[in-house]
Amino acid sequence: MSAKQLEQTTKATKTAFVFPGQGSQKVGMLAELAEQFSGIRETFAEASKAVGFDLWQIAQNGEELNQTEFTQPVLLTASIALWRVWLEIGGVVPKYLAGHSLGEYSALVASGALTLGDAVKLVNLRGKLMQNAVPQGQGAMAAILGLDDVKVLELCAQVNTQGLGSVDAANYNANGQVVIAGDKASVEAVMNTAKEVGGKAINLPVSVPSHCALMKPAAEQFAMALEETAIELPGVPVIQNVNAEIASDVTQLRTALTEQLYQSVQWTKTMEFLQNEGIEYIVECGPGNVLANLAKRLPKIEKALPLDSKSRLDDALNAILVAEGRIA
């Protein structure tokens, strides 16, 4: 649906859709659903034509799947394929959309703000620029668990004065769960200090350190591509990563997408926004259930439901239709 068509659609009152980012990819994603819904392969064919390589083959065979320039368009396409299936089977249009990092582009496509073809080209370029911004092996990301946000920021600030490079808070995923990113030595220093003060630190297997100062050169180049891409205001409100707010015009949208490359993902604030707006049901539209699992911890969320198998799709459809009063 276009943004205008979505604007005119009767929307859910208690439901939000969230779209995952890198790390949710898995070999063979959506294969089961593709046997039952022809639209999944059709969506992958449409996106593959836009970028010039076979996204379905990468998703199913796994070759190059973890190279960020391929991961990003594959994941986005998988999320939009699921979104289209949801609408096809009579799923309600949610009240809000949000996406984690890369997932923000999926949310914008679902909202009608971007076409699928333009979005996959953008995220393919985004992946290349991110990969080229930091030489392989020089950057790192890690999850810091069990410490509050202020403490993690304090540890990053301490390390940033030691001449090891830079490290930033990249993703505020939940209370007590912050992902850091930056130069490898700096990230390792924060990990060690976090353990000393009672936290846990887990190294993340990623090829680029996202959402940190090292991505500023990539953002400057990416801004030019965004300027040349047609973008509309979303037909369903999309909550932005960088500020957990809704853009009032297209200029703000472009600015937020540029800044997203080197600023933190404000996922904790995004979830607070949704709960304050009366959202009680979160549906994760993409491979896996990472975001659904995070949402299950939230006090005002009744259910958090993934969609990436036939049984999960059926369960989510029934639960949301009942919750929204569409069926008894």
The verdict on whether 100 is a catalytic residue reads no
Bridge-partner residues for 142, per DSSP?
A: 180, 203
Who contacts 15 (Cβ-Cβ below 8 Å, separation ≥6)? 92, 94, 95, 279, 280, 281, 282, 283, 320, 323, 324
Report the C-alpha gap between 71 and 77 in whole angstroms: 10
What stretches of the chain show up as alpha helix (H) in DSSP? 3-7, 31-36, 38-51, 55-61, 68-88, 103-110, 116-133, 149-160, 184-196, 216-227, 250-260, 267-276, 290-295, 310-323
> Which one, of 307, 302, 295, lies nearest residue 106 by Cα?
307
Measured CA to CA, the distance from residue 74 to residue 51 in angstroms comes to: 11
Nearest residue to 145 (alpha-carbon basis) of 294, 300, 302: 294
- Report DSSP state, residue 214: G
Among 24, 210, 211, 264, which one carries the catalytic annotation? 211
What are the C-alpha distances in Å from 73 to residues 82, 134, 283? Answer: 14, 20, 21
Half-sphere exposure of 64 (CA within 13 A, CB side): 14
> Given 24, 79, 101, 186, which residue is catalytic?
101
d(CA 240, CA 111): 13
| Biggest distance spanned by C-alpha atoms of the chain | 62
DSSP letter string, 278-312: T--EEEE-SSSSHHHHHHTTSTT-SEEEE-SSHHH
What gap in Å lies between CA 328 and CA 322, rounded to an integer? 6
Return phi, psi of residue 287, to 5°: -65, 140
Residue 154's CB is within 10 A of a number of other CB atoms, namely: 14
Active site residues: 101, 211
